[in-house]
Structure 1
Amino acid sequence: MSITIDATDGSGSFNAYVAAPSATPRAAIIVIQEIFGVNPGIRKKCDDWAAQGYLAIAPDLFWRLQPGIELDSDIPEQFQQALDWMGKFDQANGIADIEATIKAARRQLGGGKVGVVGYCLGGRLAFMTATRTDSDASVGYYGVGIDNLLGEKHAIAKPVLLHIPQADHFVTPEVQAKMHEGLDDHPKVTLFDYPGEDHGFAAEMGKRRSDEAAQLADKRTADFFAENLG
């Protein structure tokens, strides 16, 4: 199902995919899209969290550019389209929309904890969510450009988990080293490295998925949310 959420700046409203558990939710998880939009893979992430008892919501963060973008990473033309959309995307607006989604989730829960998990661009936004919102727990998979966000790390007040594939062709070893240097001693941040894995290894479908590493990362994420969201 989908819901409509009003933007906090009054500029309009956007759709969000929602997967609800069969019983009362234990908490909520905001699933932050890759550059490919709220596509079948992101919706499956939501469905899987709902099966584990969470209210899962994936907001359409590209709505200001074009509502309802869904792209396939395995189709070269669509991959290029996704890169083009990312270049036009305003990340500050994206964080505002994530914050609006967090508030909508709390309303649906009648209070309670809300975490976020993001992938690729969403992994970067998950880190920004940890520094700029009141998210209760944040997880980023192969977040891009986090090294240039380290000046915000003092604002992290709630637990953060980052998954770093060491063969990520979008995140160089030098950038990974800066992430470790800047965050390894942070009491709220945990970093996991995945030797030999590339960007997108935890995608639900398609050629990028690396099943064994994806299952390990997803178990670590599930344990992290169970500990920090209840």
Structure 2
Amino acid sequence: MTIHIDASDGSGSFNAYVAEPQGTPRGAIVVIQEIFGVNTGIRKKCDDWAAAGYLAFAPDLFWRLEPGIELDPDVPDELQQAFGWMNKFDQQLGVADIEATIKAARARLGGGKVGVVGYCLGGRLAFMAATRTDSDASVGYYGVGIDNLLGEKNAIARPVLLHIPQADHFVSPEAQAKMHEGLDDHPKVTLFDYPGEDHGFAAEMGKRRSETAAQLADERTAAFFAEHIG
């Protein structure tokens, strides 16, 4: 289903795709989109979390630019469109919309824990959510530019898991080294490296998916949420 969530700055409301589990939810998971919008792959991730017993939300974070953007990274023209949207996107407002979604998820749960998981741009936003919102647990897949956010690490109060493909052509080895240097000793943060894997390896569908690595990362994420969300 799709629900409407009011933006915290009073500028309007945005849609969020919602997948509901059977029975009482274990908790809620906010799935943070890539630069391709809330597309089929992101909705499938929500459906999979619902099948695992969680209430899952995927907010349309590009709504201020154009509501309902859905793009395919395997189509060159759509990939370029996605980069264009990313360059126009206000990440601060995006985090505020994630926070509004967390609140909506808690309200729908009637209380309970809410985790966030993001991919690509969403991986960066998941880290920002860990430092700037009250998410109960945060997971980032191949987040870009996290090395530039390490000054915020002291604000991390709840568990964080980051998946780092070592052949990520958007995140240099130097940036990855900074992430390890800055976060390896943080008591709330766990980093997993994936040798030989590239950006997007855990996409649900398409050319970027790397099946074995995706399954391993997703198993680790499921165990992490089972421990920290329920």
Could you say which TM-score interval applies, normalised by the shorter chain? Answer: over 0.9
The TM-score with structure 1 as length reference comes to 1.00
Distance in 2, Cα, partners of 1:186 & 1:80: 36
Give the 3-state SS of the residue equivalent to 1:163 in structure 2. strand
Runs of 4+ in 1 over 2 A off after TM superposition: none
The Cα shift of 1:162 comes to: 0.0
Given the two structures, how large is their TM-score scaled by the length of structure 2? 1.00
Equivalent pairs, count: 230
The answer to whether structure 1 residue 24 and structure 2 residue 32 are counterparts is no
Letter paired with 1:140: G
Q: Share of identical aligned residues, percent?
A: 84
The one-letter code matched in structure 2 to 1:181 is: E
> How far does the alpha carbon of each residue in 1:105-140 deviate from its partner, in whole angstroms, 9 at most, with x for none?
000000000000000000000000000000000000
Aligned match of 2:49: 49
In structure 2, give the amino acid aligned to 1:79: L
- The AA in structure 1 aligned to 2:164 is I
Q: Structure 1: how far apart are the matches of 2:107 and 2:229?
A: 16
Matches of residues 7-156 of structure 1 in structure 2 within 5 Å? 7-156=7-156
Question: Unaligned stretches of 5+ in structure 1?
Answer: none
| 2: CA distance, partners of 1:24 / 1:15 | 23
Q: Secondary structure at the match of 1:37?
A: coil
Partner SS, residue 38 of structure 2: coil
AA partner of residue 224 (structure 1): F
CA distance in 2, matches of 1:34, 1:100: 18
Counterpart in 2 of 1:176? 176
| d(CA) in 2 for partners of 1:33, 1:23 | 26
Q: Deviations over 1:132-191 (max 9, x none)?
A: 000000000000000000000000000000000000000000000000000000000000
Match of 1:199 in 2: 199
Aligned to 2:164: 164
For 1:211 and 1:68, how far apart are their aligned partners in 2?
A: 28
Q: Which runs of 5+ in 2 are unaligned?
A: none
Which residue does 1:189 correspond to in 2? 189
